[in-house]
């Protein structure tokens, strides 16, 4: 066997392991990953699985990195052509909520789930999760500043506070999706995000479309 072919096969096998690990971790968490389950699912020996990473932590980090790349392709990459500022913000958060809803994320948003799993556990995995969310926060605040510069948001907008609230909507949407199986999540999240990005209604005095549906008289 040539060294080139051997290296290619090694890379292919490593990718298969990570894909399988990501599928398992999306529902069972990174701590739920076991070498035995991966080996059984892949038809490999335990030594063959761990040999590609060395330690379980290294496998977790590789799985997390794959999840981050998948998120970037599924969420921010889809709105690259949108106008910077309020339009791109609205669309990117809508994509995030859509990612929670579709079959690509059977356990909800993988990164949100892992953040909850490791937020109180010091170590390299927590550091990697923090770095991923820090990158996301920088992206969001950059778009908020673009919206302010374009006059879409007031000049006195508290950028960090607005980013906190927008992310809060997404986190609430993730919980409502996974825990409550609430089918109204996309509509509620879309309205909440639109309200936050609409100057003049900072406290949600406008009734949501869902509230209007509940109070509308029935047609006999």
Give the range of the structural domain holding residue 17, as residue numbers without chain letter.
Answer: 1-63
State pLDDT tens for residues 45-85: 999 999 999 999 999 999 999 999 999 999 999 999 999 99
Report how many domains make up the chain.
Answer: 2
pLDDT at 199: 78
The answer on 57 and 92 residing in a single domain is no
Question: Of 63, 88, 114, which one is at a domain's C-terminal end?
Answer: 63
- The CATH number linked to 81 is 1.10.357.10
pLDDT at 89: 96
Q: For residue 23, report the phi and psi dihedrals to the nearest 5 degrees.
A: -65, -40
The answer on 194 and 92 residing in a single domain is yes
Higher pLDDT: 183 or 79? It is: 79
The answer on 102 and 3 residing in a single domain is no
Please say whether the beta carbons of 38 and 49 come within 8 A. yes
Q: What is the mean pLDDT of residues 95-116?
A: 81
pLDDT at 12 over 70: yes
pLDDT at 3 over 70: no
State pLDDT tens for residues 198-219: 976 544 445 555 555 544 454 4
In the structure encoding, which two tokens stand for residue 149, read together?
Answer: 């510069």
Burial of 82 (C-beta count, 10 Å sphere; 0-12/13-18/19+)? middle
The answer on 85 and 8 residing in a single domain is no
Which contacts of 76-84 are long-range, i.e. CB under 8 A and separated by 24 or more positions?
Answer: 76/139, 84/143, 84/146, 84/147, 84/150
Task: Tell me the pTM.
Answer: 0.84
Q: What is the mean pLDDT of residues 19-42?
A: 91
- The CATH number linked to 47 is 1.10.10.60
DSSP per-residue codes, 67-129 = HHHHHHHHTGGGGTTSPTTHHHHHHHHHHHHHHHHSTT-TTS-HHHHHHHHHTT--SHHHHHH
Please report whether residue 91 resides in a domain.
yes
Q: What is the mean pLDDT of residues 151-168?
A: 96
Please report whether residue 70 resides in a domain.
no
Write the CB contacts of 123 (distance below 8 Å, at least 6 apart in sequence). Answer: 57
The answer on 49 and 84 residing in a single domain is no
The answer on 110 and 51 residing in a single domain is no
Please say whether the beta carbons of 157 and 148 come within 8 A. yes
Q: What is the mean pLDDT of residues 128-155?
A: 97
């Amino acid at each position: 066997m040539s060294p080139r072919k051997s290296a290619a096969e090694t890379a292919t096998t490593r990718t298969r392991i990570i894909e399988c690990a990501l599928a398992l971790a999306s529902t069972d968490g990174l701590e739920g990953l076991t070498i035995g389950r991966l080996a059984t699912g892949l038809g490999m020996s335990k030594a063959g699985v761990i040999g590609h990473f060395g330690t379980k932590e290294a496998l977790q980090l590789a799985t997390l990195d794959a999840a981050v790349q998948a998120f970037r392709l599924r969420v921010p990459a889809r709105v690259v052509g949108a106008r910077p500022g309020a339009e791109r913000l609205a669309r990117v958060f809508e994509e995030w909520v859509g990612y929670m809803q579709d079959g690509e994320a059977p356990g909800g948003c993988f990164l949100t789930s892992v953040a909850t799993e490791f937020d109180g556990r010091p170590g390299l995995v927590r550091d990697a999760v923090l770095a991923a969310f820090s990158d996301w926060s920088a992206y969001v605040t950059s778009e908020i500043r673009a919206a302010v510069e374009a006059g879409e948001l007031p000049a006195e907008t508290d950028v960090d506070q607005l980013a906190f609230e927008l992310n809060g909507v997404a986190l609430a949407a993730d919980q409502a999706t996974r825990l409550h199986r609430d089918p109204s999540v996309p509509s509620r999240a879309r309205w909440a995000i639109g309200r936050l990005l609409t100057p003049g209604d900072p406290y949600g005095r406008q009734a949501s479309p869902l509230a209007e549906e509940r109070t509308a008289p029935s047609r006999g």
